[in-house]
A = this chain, B = another copy of it.
């Protein structure tokens, strides 16, 4: 699939997408976090074509999310193991699980995160590490970081990220503009 490269965009979301590549890659990472490491395991789990799987695994190795390790000398066999960078992607996967379970699992959750010792089901939420404050509310807003360029600054100047009532921020953008 031909598509525009996102790597020149300054946004960390765009750059992450550039590295992870596309949906198959996310599902491969999900399976790797479930403990799968071998080509045939991924193939069976995903029902993906070998050509596509080869391409996606190579992409993830190149992006530094998986490491190719030989686990058998004769015949030579390789497995794909998560790097630290790959393991750190877990928070994105967990966030997707929470969202997916909430909106697209009418029959109930098929996957849950539980405390290994107590068996209590976890209710994942994104908070500020220091204060413990949930990041979903109006208390937290997106601002340009130290490395932000002009376009990032311009975009965030009208940020409604924080508004639970997005009307106020939208109103200023409603002025009819030439060419709109």
Q: List residues of chain A with CB under 8 Å of any chain B CB.
A: 1, 3-4, 6, 10-19, 22-23, 26-27, 30-31, 33-41, 45, 47-48, 64, 71-72, 77, 79, 81-82, 85, 88-105, 107-117, 120, 122-133, 135-136, 138-149, 152, 155-156, 158-163, 166, 169-170, 173-174, 176-177, 179-180
Contact = CB atoms under 8 A, between A and B. Distances in A.
A11 B33 CA distance: 13
Given A14-B27, A91-B99, A140 B115 contact: yes
Given A12-B99, A79-B170, A112-B143, 16 more contacts: A12-B97, A16-B97, A19-B104, A31-B155, A34-B155, A35-B166, A71-B174, A94-B135, A95-B126, A108-B145, A109-B146, A111-B148, A112-B142, A114-B141, A123-B129, A124-B126
How many copies of this chain are found per oligomer?
2
B173 A97 contact: no
